[in-house]
Amino acid sequence: MTRTKQLFAAIAGRLRLIEWRWSLNDVLSSVAGGLTGAVIGLIFVVAWNR
């Protein structure tokens, strides 16, 4: 019984780590996407004003 509990705890811990990494990746990708959009918008504004 304790062995299965340990196994479940290990699996749950690993899943939590994967979940956390995925959420971190989501945050980073959304930030990168926002920055890219801002840069593209800035370039368009500069090109439009010339």
49 vs 17: CA distance, rounded Å: 48
Q: Taking the model in full, what pTM does it have?
A: 0.48
Each residue's pLDDT tens digit, 10-47: 888 888 887 888 888 888 888 999 999 999 999 999 99
How would you class 29 by CB atoms within 10 Å of its CB: exposed for 0-12, middle for 13-18, buried for 19 or more? Answer: exposed
Q: Which domain holds residue 6?
A: 1-50
- What pLDDT does 17 receive? 82
How would you class 21 by CB atoms within 10 Å of its CB: exposed for 0-12, middle for 13-18, buried for 19 or more? Answer: exposed
- What pLDDT does 1 receive? 63
- What pLDDT does 21 receive? 82
Q: How many independent structural domains does the chain possess?
A: 1
